[in-house]
Structures are given as structure tokens and as C-alpha cells.
Amino acid sequence: MNSTRRRITKAVVPVAGLGTRFLPATKATPKEMLPVVDKPAIQYVVEEAVTAGMSDILMVTGRNKRPLEDHFDRNYELEETLARKGDQDKLARVCAPTELATAVHYVRQGDPKGLGHAVLCAAPHVGSEPFAVLLGDDLIDPRDPLLTRMAEVQARYGGSVVALMEVDPGQIHLYGCAAVRPAGDGDTVRVTDLVEKPAPGEAPSNYAVIGRYVLDPEIFEVLRRTEPGRGGEIQLTDALRALAVRADAGPVHGVVFSGRRYDTGDRLGFLQATVRLACEREDLGPEFRSWLGEFVSRDVLVPVG
Ligand code: UTP
């Protein structure tokens, strides 16, 4: 069977990064375990993969990441206690992460040598099928099904697909950046080149690569030959660039996302995600919104003193 046309069932979630933007919180706790309202960020990401039909999850982990494994495992003591009390609501919340995916697998990256290296660690598990990569840092609102759309684009064109978002020109140096040309569909572009965190004035566009990918397994061969790039790390962007500019490789397309996305690996993005999702929650929202409205008008907008 042509490897580029299979239904995608495997999702790789690299979580071996050090999370230095969140120190000291991330000294002993993985940043992916920080709660956005009352669920760790990683659970939103796994839910997103499962919703898109990818229920075979591989997490690429590292030292200090044990809480992630515990979160998706059973906790019999807690389950029994809640069952004895008849607290079905909390019991359901404890069991939800365990029952979410068909299987959650783990592989250790060892040294965090970069996102490209983390993805390469998934090669034995993924084999020769196209697969998704979801970064735990990026929270995509469940009402905006980006990954499902990316899988459709991959099924149509083959090759690899990246998620792109138009950002302010002053922000593009923080992202991988794509040079693109139209591809026919309204939200889809052909990626002709990529550059990781371009210097000011050197970005080929305002299209930033965000943390969702659907990759052809040919990426592994390229990653094996990719030298450390920006920051001395093996960059996934560099390997994707090699594919995008090669005539004999599958194409690289971009899906331009205009939905709601939060950068939960960054303190400001994390706060924005927490406030927004809390406001929209049925249980907490009404009380929180009313407090927030008062707080903003009384304590934030009115100058102190
Ligand atoms: P980041 O560079 O945003 O994550 O990597 P980080 O290194 O954890 O964060 P800061 O900058 O120090 O705060 C993007 C994603 O790639 C993973 C990270 O876990 C994150 O999900 N990653 C990065 C790895 O799994 N391994 C690596 O070697 C590097």
C-alpha cells in the first residue's frame, strides 16, 4: 500500500524539553502537567489527537517526566476511595485520562538534543506510516479541529503537512517561518521553503509554523542526516525544509489555521489560556467572569494611588 494514503492512527507527542521558560515551576514538575483550569495541558493534547482518530499515542519523554506516565495510568487507591464514597463525578474525572487513548506508549529521548531528535526517537514505533506530531506547548481549542483538517490534506496530497498561523511581523523571529505559494484550497498552501526563527528582516513571510504536524515517514531518513542547527539542536524545521525543497520527495503543504490557539509553554500564553477557558466553563465561568470583570475595572484599569 502507498504509505502516503493510509489513515493516520499514530500520534507522537514530544515532551522531553526542559521547560526553562517556566522555571522554577518546571524544576521538578513537567511543564505539560501544569493545569489549565483543572486539567494538565497534556490531557488537552491527547484528547485532540484521539478526536482526530489518532488513538495510538507515543510520548517522547525524558528525566523528571514520570508524572506524565502516572497521569495516564490507573490510580486504584484513588479510584476505590471515590467509588466507596459514591462520588461518580470525581471518579469519572480520575478515570478519563486512562480511558482516553487505545494505548499510550513511552520512549525516552535521553539527551534533549532538539525537537527533530525527539521525533527521530519515534521512528521504531511509527514504522512506515504517516503520523501526527503534537507539541504539548500548543493548546488548540477543541472547537477548531485543526488536526482533522491536516489529516485530510495529507490524504489528498500525500507528503507532509505543517500547521501555519499568520503572526505579527514583529513576532515571526520566535517561530519557524514558511515561504509558500497557493495550493488551490482556501486554507491550504504549498510550502516552498522553511527557516527556523529568522533574524529580523529575513523572514520570507508572516506564516509561523505552530505545533501540529502530519509527517511522511521519509522524515526519519532526513532527520538521521540533519546536523544540529539553531541553538545547537537538531531542528524539525531543518528536516522539513530539506523535504520542501527536494523535487524527489513528497510535497510539504501548510494548513493556515485561524482558530483559537494558546502557547501554554510561555507564561503569558498560559495565563491567557487559563483565563479564557475558565471564562467559558459552564461550572466556573459565570462566577469567574463576574469576578474578573470587577477585578479588571476596579484594580487593573483604575490607576493605583
Ligand atoms: P521548546 O523549545 O518549546 O520546549 O520545544 P522546551 O525546551 O521544553 O521549552 P523552553 O524553551 O526551555 O521553555 C518544543 C517542544 O519540543 C519538545 C518540548 O518538550 C516541547 O514540547 N522537545 C524539545 C523535546 O521533546 N525534546 C527536545 O530535545 C527539545
* CATH code assigned at 259: 3.90.550.10
Q: Which of 137, 175, 233, 234 to mutate to test the pocket of ligand 1 (most atoms within 8 A of CB)?
A: 137
DSSP H or E run through 148: helix 146-157
**Residue 16 has which C-alpha cell?**
522531553
Give the pLDDT score at 2.
Answer: 43
Atom 5 of ligand 1, residue of closest alpha carbon: 17
Atom 16 of ligand 1, residue of closest alpha carbon: 115
Q: Which of 44, 111, 115, 236 to mutate to test the pocket of ligand 1 (most atoms within 8 A of CB)?
A: 115
Q: How far apart are CA 263 and CA 273, in angstroms?
A: 8
Within 10 angstroms of residue 273's Cβ, the number of other Cβ atoms is 22
CA-based nearest residue to 196, from 145, 169, 234, 225: 234
Atom 29 of ligand 1, residue of closest alpha carbon: 114
In a domain, 275, yes or no: no
CA–centroid distance, residue 135 to ligand 1 (Å): 8
End-to-end CA distance of the chain: 71
CA–centroid distance, residue 186 to ligand 1 (Å): 31
pTM reported for the whole predicted model: 0.93
In a domain, 186, yes or no: yes
Buried b (16+ CB within 10 A) or exposed e, 163-193: bbbebeeeebbebbbbbbeebeeeebbbbee
Residue ranges lining ligand 1, Cβ < 6 Å: 14-21, 60, 109, 112-115, 117-118, 135-137, 265
Q: How far apart are CA 124 and CA 132, in angstroms?
A: 15
Number of H helices, E strands in the chain: 11, 13
What number does the ligand 1 atom closest to the CA of 18 have?
8
In a domain, 206, yes or no: yes
Percent helix / strand / coil, the chain, rounded to 5: 40, 20, 35
Domain limits for position 37 = 10-265
Give the pLDDT score at 303.
Answer: 60
Tally of domains in the chain? 1
Phi and psi based region of residue 232 (left: phi greater than 0; alpha: psi -120 to 50; beta: remaining): left
Q: How far apart are CA 184 and CA 251, in angstroms?
A: 14
Instruction: Please give the distance of CA 240 from its chain centroid, rounded to a whole number.
Output: 17
In a domain, 38, yes or no: yes
In a domain, 1, yes or no: no
> Which are the contacts of 139, defined by CB distance < 8 A and separation ≥ 6?
36, 41, 44, 45, 261, 262, 263, 264, 273
What number does the ligand 1 atom closest to the CA of 26 have?
13
Give the pLDDT score at 14.
Answer: 97
What number does the ligand 1 atom closest to the CA of 13 have?
21
What number does the ligand 1 atom closest to the CA of 114 have?
28
In a domain, 293, yes or no: no
Mean pLDDT by runs of 10 across the 305 residues of the chain is: 67 94 92 94 96 95 90 95 96 94 91 95 96 95 93 95 95 93 89 90 93 97 93 93 88 95 92 95 96 87 60
Secondary structure of residue 30 in the 3-state scheme: coil
In a domain, 301, yes or no: no
CA–centroid distance, residue 129 to ligand 1 (Å): 24
Q: Which of 12, 18, 223, 264 to mutate to test the pocket of ligand 1 (most atoms within 8 A of CB)?
A: 18
**Amino acid symbol at 48:** E
What number does the ligand 1 atom closest to the CA of 117 have?
28
Q: What is the DSSP letter of 282?
A: T
What number does the ligand 1 atom closest to the CA of 16 have?
25
What number does the ligand 1 atom closest to the CA of 14 have?
25
Question: CA angle at residue 290 from 287 to 293, to 5 degrees?
Answer: 145
In a domain, 108, yes or no: yes
Atom 9 of ligand 1, residue of closest alpha carbon: 19
